[in-house]
Amino acid sequence: MKATSVLDDAQLIVLGNDIRSRAAGMGWNLATMAAEIAIWYNQPTDPVFTVWKTVVSEKVISDYLMESGAAIQLDNLTVGKRESLLWAFGLDLDMSIQAVRNTVDNFCGTQSDLKAAIKAISKRATNRIEKLLATGTGTTENPGTLVFEGTIMYPVVEAAIRATGVI
Q: Is the pLDDT of residue 166 over 80?
A: no
Residue 92 sits in the same domain as residue 133: no
Residue 69 sits in the same domain as residue 104: yes
Model pLDDT, residue 28 = 97
92 falls within a domain: yes
Which of residues 4 and 23 earns the better pLDDT score?
23
Q: Is the pLDDT of residue 95 over 80?
A: yes
Asked if 68 contacts 87 with a C-beta cutoff of 8 angstroms, the reply is no
Residue 68 sits in the same domain as residue 150: no
Model pLDDT, residue 3 = 81
Q: Is the pLDDT of residue 2 over 80?
A: no
Q: Is the pLDDT of residue 114 over 90?
A: yes
Model pLDDT, residue 5 = 84
Q: Is the pLDDT of residue 1 over 80?
A: no
3 falls within a domain: no
| Mean pLDDT of all residues in 133-152 | 97
Asked if 122 contacts 114 with a C-beta cutoff of 8 angstroms, the reply is no
1 falls within a domain: no
Q: What is the CB neighbour count within 10 angstroms for residue 154?
A: 14
Model pLDDT, residue 131 = 98
| Mean pLDDT of all residues in 27-33 | 96
Identify the domain containing residue 117 by its residue range. 55-121
Chain mean pLDDT for the chain:
95
In terms of DSSP bridges, do strands 123-125 and 50-52 run parallel, antiparallel, or are they unpaired? antiparallel
Residue 115 sits in the same domain as residue 66: yes
Q: What burial class does residue 50 get, using C-beta atoms within 10 Å of its C-beta: 0-12 exposed, 13-18 middle, 19+ buried?
A: buried
Question: Which of 161, 126, 133, 117 lies closest to 49 in space, CA to CA?
Answer: 126
Q: Is the pLDDT of residue 4 over 90?
A: no
Overall number of domains in the chain: 2
18 falls within a domain: yes
Residue 36 sits in the same domain as residue 59: no
